[in-house]
Amino acid sequence: MITLSQIIKKTCTQYAEKIAVVDKRRELSYQQLKEEACQLASALLSRGFQKGDRIGILSANRVEHIVIDLAVAMTGLIKVPINIKLHPKEIQFILENAKASLVIGEISLLRTIDFTGDRVTFENDYNSFLANTDSEYPDCSVIDTDSFAIMYTSGTTGRPKGAVLSHRAIIASAQSLIMACELGYEDTIGHVAPLTHGSNFLAQCALFFGLKQVIFDKFDPKFIADQLEKERVTTIFMVPTIVNLMIQEESFEPRKLRFLKSINMAGAPIASEKLQVALDKLGPIFAETYGLVEAPMAITIMPKHKLPHYLSSCGAVGPMVEMILRDEDGNEVHQGKVGEITCKGPLVMDKYWANEEATSNAIKDGWFYTGDLGWIDPFGHLYLIDRKNDVIISGGMNIYPREVEEALNLHKAVKEACVFGVENEKWGESVYAHVVLKYNMTVEESQLVSHCKEHMASYKKPAYIEIVPSLPKSPYGKILRRELKKSYEEGVKG
């Protein structure tokens, strides 16, 4: 199978004069991108770095993310992208766990960590690091099964685990996203979500078509709408949190997104009610995908034209993966029955870095067990229920937090909600909900309970509802259910 390195060479030759990537600091044509990436590759190799060595990246969104991607792909080195919003101790753990030989990034971020390996800061060292180096392609042997990246999970269930993704997996992800977003040669890709995570998979798609990429280093609802219009961005990756913040901005003008033909929405579930609001304001431009770091972006795809008719589904299985839903014993469950989502194919990671136990628990007979529960309708559409470990068992009955959250989100006063199980002496567990209200809206907890009873079986309704000003979120916009549950348990224990 082809490698990223081969794709890079073809694209940089065919589109040499075309703008490849731009941020607020500078822009590079494909010829310039190729030369800088080759210089970085040459600099790394001349300093003794070898195929398989790990290179940490600690930086906000900027052009150099794309340069590093190309240099790593050409040399067989492995990148370790790190979320800049992590605590320094978490960053430290990732670098140590990956045994990174070098970290490249911004000086303000690098000075917060105690790293014994080599450092290159963009502000002080980067240009001199590249000086007097070769701008031609390095003579390196890279094959499709070689590792390209170690991407660490969010660590909500303990220490983050590093998912090892090969060139083959990255290409499979890109091919799936090209299909999901209906990409073509005239598109312009925007990046507002972190290039250390989901948006980077869309970046690889640009290499197939020689597309221009526009990189934003911050998210501000008004600013980003203006910039998307100015740069005529046609395709972008956004998590639901970003979408909601943008369309709820008081000054938001939908016409400013008129050039957008596709928003790839992934990274976290979105309530059907919130998705309908987004569709009403922007039209059918959302392509939803379901995936994990371990199987990036497109285990399933819900294309733009079908999504308005299946708001609760995340789509049918994608082209680069097989999928089976299984019961507790590993047997395939029948259509319409809830089971754990498992998948295999070129899209799936090779292993967890330096963690044989976690790998053996997650990959069995070649199938990756996602830990997510769902069911499939007669047309092959997957409906996510919840994380396997988040199921609430009350009186012997399974209650899925997301189902209760969907009901709460139907209320006109609710902005967002998070549901989790708490210990109950009689029933085993009870349903506890934290709810954030929309601006200037009020509602009583008892009214929300009554509202839930109108939309679901009575045993599923929250026993307790707490109205709060905000919900804790990961740097990628996911609501941290376990953090809320932990805070509750610590409060109970005193």
Structure tokens at 36: 């800088």
Please list the residue range(s) of the chain that carry CATH number 3.40.50.12780.
Answer: 4-382
333-349 pLDDT, tens digit each: 999 999 999 999 999 99
CA 226 from centre of chain? 24
Please list the residue range(s) of the chain that carry CATH number 3.30.300.30.
Answer: 391-493
Q: Element (H or E) spanning 230, and its range? A: helix 221-230
Query: In this prediction, what percent of the chain has a pLDDT beyond 90?
Result: 74
Confidence band for 491, pLDDT divided at 50, 70 and 90: confident
Write down the pLDDT at residue 482.
82
Beta pairing partners, 392: 399
Write down the pLDDT at residue 8.
97
Length of the chain: 494
Residue 201 near residue 183 (C-beta atoms within 8 A): no
Residue 141 burial (10 A CB sphere; 0-12, 13-18, 19+):
exposed
How many Å is the maximal CA-CA distance in the chain? 73
Tell me the CA end-to-end span of the chain in Å, nearest whole number. 57
**How would you classify the pairing of strands 162-166 and 351-352?**
antiparallel
Structure tokens at 287: 């392509």
273-299 pLDDT, tens digit each: 888 989 999 999 999 999 999 999 899
Angle between helices 63-75 and 30-46 (to 10 degrees): 60
Q: By C-alpha distance, which of 240, 238, 244 is closest to 264? A: 238
pLDDT at 268 exceeding the cut of 80: no
Residue 63 near residue 25 (C-beta atoms within 8 A): yes
Write down the pLDDT at residue 118.
94
Domain covering 4-382, topology = Rossmann fold (3.40.50)
Q: Is the pTM of this model over 0.75?
A: yes
385-443 pLDDT, tens digit each: 878 788 887 877 778 888 899 899 999 999 999 999 888 877 878 999 999 999 889 99
pLDDT at 138 exceeding the cut of 90: yes
Question: Once rounded to an integer, what is the mean pLDDT over residues 116-140?
Answer: 95
CA 187 from centre of chain? 21
**Angle (CA) 203 205 210, round 5°:** 95
Confidence band for 234, pLDDT divided at 50, 70 and 90: very high
Q: By C-alpha distance, which of 342, 187, 367, 315 is closest to 259? A: 187
Write down the pLDDT at residue 386.
77
SS (H, E, C) 316-365: EECCCCEEEEECCCCCECCCCCCEEEEEECCCCCCEECCCHHHHHHHEEC
Query: Mean pLDDT in the chain?
Result: 92
Question: Once rounded to an integer, what is the mean pLDDT over residues 73-95?
Answer: 92
Beta pairing partners, 149: 79, 165
Write down the pLDDT at residue 397.
76
Confidence band for 476, pLDDT divided at 50, 70 and 90: low
Write down the pLDDT at residue 426.
75
pLDDT at 156 exceeding the cut of 60: no
Edge to edge, the sheet with strand 428-437 lists 414-424, 428-437, 464-467
Least confident of 6-20, 142-156, 339-353: 142-156
Structure tokens at 127: 């240009």
Q: Is 205 helix (H, G, I), strand (E, B) or coil?
A: helix
CATH number of 391-493: 3.30.300.30
Residue 138 near residue 42 (C-beta atoms within 8 A): yes
Write down the pLDDT at residue 131.
95
Count how many Cα atoms sit within 13 Å of the Cα of residue 123 in the half-sphere of its side chain.
7
Structure tokens at 241: 């949190």
Write down the pLDDT at residue 161.
92
**Cα gap 9→164, rounded to integer Å:** 24
Tell me, what amino acid is at 349? M
pLDDT at 4 exceeding the cut of 80: yes
Q: Is 299 helix (H, G, I), strand (E, B) or coil?
A: strand
